[in-house]
Chain A
Amino acid sequence: MVVVGHGPAGHRLVEALRARDAAGTCRVTVLGEETRAAYDRVALTSYLTEDADLALPEHDEAVRVVAGDPVTGIDLAARTVTTASGLVVEYDALVLATGSAPFVPPVPGKDLPGVFVYRTIDDLDALREHCTNLTLSRPGAGGVVVGGGLLGLEAARAVQGLGVETHVVEVAPWLMPRQLDEGGGAMLRRHVEALGMNVHAGTPMERLEAGEDGAVASVALAGGASLDAGVVVFSAGVRPRDELARGCGLQVGERGGIVVDEACRTSDPAVFAIGECALVDGQVYGLVAPCFSMAEVVADQLLAAASDTDCTARFEGADLSTKLKLMGVDVASFGDPFRADGLDVTYTDPVAGIYKRLVVSDDARTLLGGVLVGDASGYPALRAQVGTRLPGSPEQVLFGGTEAAGGDLPGATVICSCNNVSAEAIRSGIRAESLTEVAQVKACTRAGTTCGSCVPLVKRILDAELTAAGVEVSRALCEHFEHSRAELFDIVRVTGITTFTRLIAEHGRGRGCDICKPVVASILASLGNGHILDGEQAALQDTNDHHLANLQKNGTYSVVPRIPGGEITPERLIVIGEVARDFGLYTKITGGQRIDLFGARVEQLPLIWRRLVDAGFESGHAYGKALRTVKSCVGSTWCRYGVQDSVGMAIALELRYRGLRAPHKIKAAVSGCARECAEAQAKDFGVIATEGGWNLYVGGNGGMRPRHADLFATDLSDEELIRYVDRFLMFYIRTADRLQRTASWLESLDGGLDYLREVVVEDRLGIAGELDAAMARHVGSYSDEWADTLADPERMRRFVSFVNAPDVPDPSIAFETERDQIRPVLVAGAELEVAGR
């Protein structure tokens, strides 16, 4: 058997054959045009943005793969194929899997240097090289991507990532015209523009113009406008590669494509065609899932023929649902969103940038299709429900799309359409192999391994199975919110909600509790939504945050002024000493290189802060789920071994991140050389000086479950270090669970350290800009919470002992003396302490 073309379709065919043909009855030769063996074209962009390795698994030795040698002719009578190098190969069965080629419209200038298509790794290599040169020789140069469809937008984002000011030119009046209606297209445009790309829709292109060096320099649009274009990428659709078939007399479609029947057989029974080059039932498929299905069908056909049995495997059309792979922009279409006989249910939220449309049957019972822009979280579930009876009214489905499905999906529902895996297959895999992790389910069932969009649904099925098996998986924060902290964070971020009242009214139930209130308060604070003691937020804070001090066992508080990097002048040290003496506070040096003052009564707190603030101190946030300290060793300034100024860096970091609210406290340290006197590897982030700069470690922890931090990056400049720490912290804040330290967050992060690196360093999710901006907002809006409170009479109201006797100190607070300092005496006695934990 001979396969022409080693793309995803050809590869899947060979895989399926080998898996089902243990006896090795089929001898397989694969002839490929590209110089490398098959790779994952769907993930092509990640090759550019994160240097991803796209290679698909190699076939076993029984398969002969010839790469870089295109087939040039087929002799149907002799049953041979001939390659460019002159190789002639005989076949009993021939499979054409030649895919498609990008369509380049016949505009003047289309062959100029600097004009590219976006289909193969070679295309991307050439594109990258050109853009690198371009941005060096002409910083700020523009680039044009022709085509505003799925691939065009993906390509545009990639071109932008190469440092080029990017324009998307689309002939149709709106973006993604094949998937979206006008409303969806308009909403998408806003999202794309928000990412910093320029959109020119409804404007055909007239010609490409060369600059002095002979390479493309601008693009002229209809109507006279001209765009700066040092690089042009065509992504205006594809055409099936049917030239071989045409040349040997196989039947091809009027508008291209090799005509095949439902068994994928061409007009010559010994020849099959699969994948994007095939025309089945008048249709060419441009998505990978149908290509895979065709490959499976042909594998069955070939094996049946080899053993002389009948085969009923047929290709029965395919699910055309798609999701745009562009982080930061959620777009998905599923089923048939253009069904004329259906009813429309549309929802638009211009503020949040959300557009959703469902098409249902005219009795509003069956889901036919739809589009989602701005929030595609419901996509996996909705897609799986196409053609089935709706579980509720269309509005309920539109809004509860994510909740509606999961454990109760019918077994036959296809969950992963890329790999044609049903809910039942996933369930039985989980049961048979006792799987507990999504990664295991992916490996075992193949679901989720291609485009990844079904992974949330796979996860939900897994959760449902585990729950049924008695394993606790609820991610609900508390009885008031079904969501995890990370989900709530996203809700607040996307909706811009600024109050707990609105959040719980719209996304929760009841009136909250001591669990969800502080979480929401922290989220609001992380997103920079005002002072933690302002208005309604004040009511959400637990007592430590409420009183900006740490509650101790007898109801008094401790006060910790910030001492950045542990560096302090004698004058300030004296002030602390005087304050402690004047208020009779117990004084202790902390592990974070600062000084803790214990035994302050509520009404004393403002008086103590007044003294400290006047001497130039500010809050050390010892009370908050926030950055605590950045500890440092003395570093190169004094130490004989030091190679960098660790104190200076620690101070800079502490001042940058002070006051940053997070799911849990954050500790950090900077050591001036590899001797590591600051114990940076036991911190949430640790920095160790090297000859060449700084090594960054993340995810360390002391405490109950000590964990050594992981080395994240080496020899960073000051700027790189700060950029990575910025993103690391913001990503943690966005995605961690309630009270989850970075150590356990990192351990639970799908993809672990490598994934974190991809997100932070290579911007795999395309959110680095948002993370940077969020941190910039934090740094820009920081102010000292103690000083703010002192300046605000309204906030000062809570610092009284008794509402009806503000001058009477709490009579239950009593001290005795031990080692010359105070120590609390509990009135209620020791037996009560035992009852506490």
Chain B
Amino acid sequence: MTVLRDVETLPGVSGWHRVCRLTDLLPERGAAALVAGVQVALFRTFEGGLHAVGNLDPFSGAQVMSRGLLGCRGGVPVVASPMFKHVFDLRTGESLSEPGPGLPVFAVRVQDDMVEVSLEPASQPASSSADTADRAGTVASGER
């Protein structure tokens, strides 16, 4: 049984970890990944933005965030936990539906069509997702 602790305390997790091909991620859905023993929820939005947050839903204690629905709240990209529908800001991990613990946010990038995650806590989201945040609200024409 693996118990999730604060990421910083885990040894040997620095640097970028190759996780999967970009095409392994379904648009507008999430997938769970096991990165150096840490469960990470990866999301790829319609517009192509990528986000990586912790897979543990802090309200229910289950590793299910990757199965939540994506969306936006007032232009902020969010994920809603499938358990009790708590909503989190994908860029900051902040809990938006009620005060409480948030999600850890991880840096994520695409190199050679491969998705890479860094477990060092990212205060800022990866560049591709910042881009998403700007575009959220204008949305999704049918072309994609």
A residues whose Cβ falls under 8 Å from a Cβ of B: 479-480, 499, 501-502, 504-505, 509-518, 536, 538-540, 542-544, 546-547, 551, 553-555, 797-798, 801-805, 808, 810-814, 826-829, 832-833, 835-837
Contacts and interface: CB of A to CB of B under 8 A. Distances in A.
Contact of A511 (B63, B67, B72, B100): B72
A511 B46 contact: yes
Given A516-B71, A801-B32, A835-B58, 8 more contacts: A501-B142, A505-B139, A514-B69, A514-B80, A798-B26, A802-B34, A803-B33, A803-B42
Nearest to A829: B61
16 contacts: A505-B139, A510-B136, A511-B45, A511-B46, A511-B72, A513-B71, A513-B87, A514-B69, A536-B28, A802-B34, A813-B63, A827-B4, A828-B58, A832-B59, A832-B60, A833-B60
A511 B34 contact: no
Contact of B73 (A479, A504, A539, A804): A479
A31 B92 CA distance: 81
A551 B83 CA distance: 8
B1 A814 contact: yes
Contact of B84 (A479, A505, A542, A836): A836
A811 B2 contact: yes
Given A517-B71, A538-B26, A812 B2 contact: yes
A813 B25 CA distance: 23
A513 B80 contact: yes
Contacts of A501: 46, 140-142, 144
Contacts of A812: 1-2, 4, 39, 56, 62-63
Task: Select the residue from A554, A826, A835 with max chain B CB neighbours within 10 A.
Answer: A835
Contact of B69 (A513, A810, A814, A836): A513
A511 B31 CA distance: 20
A539 B80 CA distance: 13
Contacts of B87: 513-514
Contacts of B63: 555, 810, 812-813
A536 B46 CA distance: 10
Contact of A833 (B33, B61, B75): B61
Contacts of A517: 69, 71
B82 A511 contact: no
A510 B60 contact: no
Contacts of B141: 501, 505
A828 B1 contact: no
Contacts of A805: 33-34
A788 B53 CA distance: 32
A809 to B, nearest CB: 10
Nearest to B144: A501
Given A501-B142, A555-B63, A812-B2, A512 B26 contact: no
A517 B72 CA distance: 11
A504 B139 CA distance: 9
Interface string B79-117: 010111101000000000000110000000000000000
B11 interface: no
Contacts of B26: 538-539, 797-798
Contacts of B56: 812, 828
B48 interface: no
A547 B27 CA distance: 16
B64 A551 contact: yes
Contact of B62 (A509, A538, A553): A553
Given A513-B71, A827-B3, A554 B32 contact: no
Nearest to A512: B71
Contact of A513 (B4, B29, B32, B73): B73
A803 B24 contact: yes
Chain B CB count within 10 A is highest, among A540, A803, A826, A837, for A803
A827 B84 CA distance: 17
B72 to A, nearest CB: 5
Given A510-B136, A514-B69, A804 B35 contact: yes
A505 to B, nearest CB: 6
B15 interface: no
Contact of B72 (A512, A801, A802): A512
Contact of A514 (B71, B139, B144): B71
B126 interface: no
A826 B62 contact: yes
Interface in B4-39: 4, 19-20, 24-29, 31-35, 39
Contacts of B60: 553, 832-833, 836
B68 interface: yes
Nearest to A794: B26
Which one of B3, B42, B45, B63 has the highest number of Cβ atoms from chain A below 10 Å of its Cβ? B63
B25 A803 contact: yes
A122 B31 CA distance: 70
Nearest to B71: A513
6 shortest A-B CB distances, which residue pairs? Answer: A513-B71, A828-B61, A514-B80, A832-B61, A539-B28, A543-B82
B121 interface: no
A497 B94 CA distance: 35
A297 B46 CA distance: 64
A810 B34 CA distance: 9
B78 interface: yes
A833 B59 CA distance: 7
Contacts of A518: 69
Contacts of A540: 69
Contact of B68 (A543, A813, A833, A835): A543
B69 A542 contact: yes
Contacts of B80: 513-514
Interface in B119-144: 136-137, 139-142, 144
A13 B82 CA distance: 63
A801 B66 CA distance: 10
B140 A543 contact: no
Given A811-B1, A812-B63, A803 B46 contact: no
A798 B31 CA distance: 8
A625 to B, nearest CB: 15
A836 B59 contact: yes
A515 B72 CA distance: 11
Contacts of A499: 142
Nearest to B78: A513
Contacts of A801: 32
Contact of A505 (B4, B32, B142): B142
Contacts of A829: 61
B24 to A, nearest CB: 5
A269 B40 CA distance: 91
B67 A547 contact: yes
Contacts of A828: 4, 56, 58, 61-62
B19 A803 contact: yes
Contact of B34 (A542, A555, A804, A832): A804
A808 B38 CA distance: 13
A79 to B, nearest CB: 76
Given A827-B1, A836-B83, A554 B34 contact: no
